[in-house]
Chains A and B, each alone.
Chain A
Amino acid sequence: MSATALAFLIFSFALFGIAGARAVFGLMIASLPFYIILGCFNIARGEKTVFSILLGLTLFPSLAYFLGFMVSFRIAIAMAFIVFIGMSVALKKFKAKK
């Protein structure tokens, strides 16, 4: 999985420079919390990967959009990441206790 992600980053850098690599990195960052959340459930690795990217492309920006009315959009992105990562860690701990 990490090899594929690395290949994706190198590919985007080779074709589009640092802006392309950063955009792809952003997509990975947005998907990461959902990958952790879905990891708490009994689903296959492929499902986890595909579903988490879809959620990262939709739910993550939705929260950033709401927060972007209250704070700067850049900070909203960081806050959205903290919120979703917090949720994923909390869920993981909750599942581990169960």
Chain B
Amino acid sequence: MTGYMKFSKSHAQTLIFAALYLFALYFWTQPLQERKIPYGEYDAMSHFEVADYIAYNDKSFQKLPPYIDLRYGGDNKFRPHTLWYPPAFHTSLAVAETIGGERIVPVFLLNAIMSTFIIISVYFVINSLFGFLPAILSSLLLVFSPRDFMPYLWGQWPERFAYAFIPIILYCFYRYFIYFSKEDKNPLYLYLTALFLGINILVHPLVFFHSVIGLAVLYVMLAIKQRKIVFSWKHSVIAGLIFLALFMMFPYQTFNIFSQFARGTDESAKNFDLSRIFQWSLNPKDYAGSVPPSYFSFAEMHGLWTLPFLLIGILFLVLRREERDLFMLAWLVSLYIILHRDLAGKASFLHRSLSASAHIFAPLAAIGAFYLSSIIKLPSNYSKYLKYGIAAVFIFFAFSVNMAYASKILNKNTYNDFFSTLNNEEYQAAQWSLDNIPSSANITILGIPHQEQFQSATSKKIRWFAAVSQHVTRFYYLREDREEILKSKDWYIVLDYTMLAPLNDKKTFDEMQQFERNASATHILAYGKNGIRVYKLAE
């Protein structure tokens, strides 16, 4: 029967996973589905800005334009005022924006795909090593992992994607080690390890160090297990050259890692507490104001019900100690080491490494659940029912506990924030500004609340306006050079009335009306639509 393709079990499994992944994508993109407006914290703005600048201006760039340089000009210590991250990640978003033909949806959608790639990586690796059921259960838990989707929402975009490389890098090296040991000596997987490790550093350096520690621990564990040192000069030199080629691809950015590293011991790490050795998570008080306390809670991030499965999974792997079990344990140990690097004096961004917990906890819990049935001795038929029964309980809890909790944080109203996210009228005005205001000019805004009680939120709105308009944008009332601004043709003045009515802020409304009356003598109205008016100095 030519052309007939048998629908195999493997096809069915792939389709089940594809359905789960599309659901994950649906779940993670809810804020974008509701409103096609950019959202997130300051990090999100910076990543959007870099990608959007390339796509919108149809050119690559190295030197930062003023509206990005204002905040990030000093972030690259090696070459200040240039891109502070290697551009691979952002250019990928720029490619999506260019092909997508629109500024917001392609960037935010592709970012969601990259941020959820850890679900694909974990499924692929666990399916290869332990089979379908543990793999799909692991993926299911990851869909609802707040420690993954919260940083994604906040804007730690490259970091989210970089974590997807860790299981892939470890897997490639594992394959090399195992094949080498079986006298096959095929170097392909070592070269792939070097390739993905090199790419990992281009995506996010912090995660690269995590991968390196993971490789070291995995190598030691496998070498002890097999009582064999796997090494080939030829393979290692070629792998080293592959890595070096990637490392040297963007030297201005990759050399910045050395500048960052040379900053020495972090002050916060000097007062370390040795009891940390026995703790997995960090003290929420040390991160008050930047990360919510729930981020440090096992119960809230993973669901307390996963703990017995997780412990059974670890115990099972420790007792069995097959090569694939050591793979999982090495991954776990490497995360432990990375999470305790403050003991070696490197405490910066420690909480960000915690965001990798679910990537290993989810498969360990799934493995624990899967092998729980093998502990109880039953006739094979009953054992099979027990296995699927436990899987059903696992799925029930994943939906009833994890999904329920996740839905409170990530839903269609996430970042539907009156104060920090642009409204449609503001987005249109920002887009008009991009199209009509000379790139050398700056923008100053009246009407977006500048008072202290609002500022932490509305500063984000100002920055989103800058990101969309591609112009330096500032609060008018917070400037000391207001007189000069009014005399300069390099400043455009935006009067935003859209927030005043909901706030019932008559005082600011009157001030802005008076401002317009005074400005009419010297300025002309360049834009007036939907409660937003833009003035420029008359020629």
Q: Which A residues fall within an 8 A CB radius of B?
A: 3-4, 7-8, 11-12, 15-20, 22-27, 29-30, 41-44, 46-47, 50-51, 53-55, 57-62, 64-69, 72-74, 76-77
List the B side residues contacting A17 at CB < 8 Å: 105
Residues in chain B near residue A42, CB distance under 8 A = 186, 188
State whether the Cβ of B374 lies closer than 8 Å to any Cβ in chain A.
no
Write the chain A residue with the least CB distance to B102: A19
Using C-beta atoms within 8 Å of the partner chain, give the interface range for chain B.
35 or more
A22 near B94: Cβ-Cβ < 8 Å: no
Stretch at the interface among B25-33, B64-72, B385-393, B428-436: B25-33
Q: Is the CB of B91 within 8 A of A25?
A: no
B105 and A27 within 8 A (CB): no
Q: Cα distance A7–B184 when bound, in Å?
A: 38
Please, which residues of chain A bring their CB within 8 A of the CB of B165? Answer: 54
Nearest residue, chain B, Cβ from A61:
B91
The interface residues of chain B, by DSSP majority, are classed as: helix
Indicate whether B203 reaches chain A with its CB closer than 8 angstroms: yes
What is the chain B residue whose CB lies nearest that of A49?
Answer: B124
How distant is A30 from chain B, measured CB to nearest CB, in Å? 7
Cross-chain contact A61 with B88 (CB below 8 angstroms): yes
User: When each residue 62-96 of chain B gets 1 if its CB lies under 8 Å from chain A and 0 otherwise, what string results?
Assistant: 00000000000000000000000001110110111
Question: B87 contacts which of A20, A60, A62, A72 (Cβ < 8 Å)?
Answer: A62
Task: Collect the chain A residues with CB atoms within 8 Å of residue B423's CB.
Answer: none
A68 to B29 alpha-carbon distance, docked (Å): 30
Query: Do B199 and A58 have beta carbons less than 8 Å apart?
Result: yes
* B102 contacts across to A, CB distance below 8 A: 19
Using Cβ atoms and an 8 Å threshold, which residues of chain A touch B54? 65, 68, 73
Q: Once the chains bind, are B33 and A16 in contact (CB under 8 Å)?
A: yes
List the B residue with the shortest CB-CB distance to A70: B60
> Which of B's residues lie within 8 Å of A, judged by CB?
14-15, 18, 22, 25-26, 29, 32-33, 54-55, 57-60, 87-89, 91-92, 94-102, 105-106, 109-110, 113-114, 117, 120-121, 124, 127-128, 161, 164-165, 168, 186, 188, 192, 195-196, 199, 202-203, 249-250
What is the CA–CA distance of A25 and B54 in the complex, to the nearest angstrom?
Answer: 20
Given contact pairs A16-B32, A54-B199, A27 touches B96 in the complex (Cβ within 8 A): yes
Identify 17 new A-B residue pairs, CB closer than 8 A, beyond the known A23-B97, A47-B128: A11-B25, A15-B33, A16-B32, A19-B105, A23-B110, A24-B113, A44-B128, A51-B192, A54-B117, A57-B92, A57-B114, A58-B202, A68-B59, A68-B91, A72-B59, A76-B60, A77-B98
Smallest beta-carbon distance B9→chain A, Å: 14
Cα–Cα, bound, A69→B60 (Å): 5
Question: Quick check: A62 and B88 within 8 Å, CB to CB?
Answer: yes
Nearest CB to that of A22 among chain B residues?
B100
Q: Which 8 A/B pairs are nearest by Cβ-Cβ distance?
A: A68-B60, A26-B99, A61-B91, A23-B106, A19-B102, A23-B100, A61-B92, A19-B105
Let me know if B199 and A19 touch, CB within 8 A: no
Distance of A60 from chain B, by nearest CB (Å): 7
* A50 and B106 alpha carbons, distance in the complex (Å): 21
* B199 CB to nearest chain A CB (Å): 5
Instruction: Judge whether A24 and B109 touch: CB under 8 Å.
Output: yes
> Does A77 contact B59, Cβ atoms closer than 8 Å?
no
- Bound state CA distance, A23 and B102, in angstroms? 9
Complex Cα distance, B110 from A53, in Å, reads: 12
Residues of B within 8 A of A57 (CB): 92, 114, 161
- Nearest-neighbour CB distance to chain B for A45, whole angstroms, equals 9
- Taken together as a complex, chains A and B put the C-alpha atoms of A25 and B19 apart, in Å, by 18
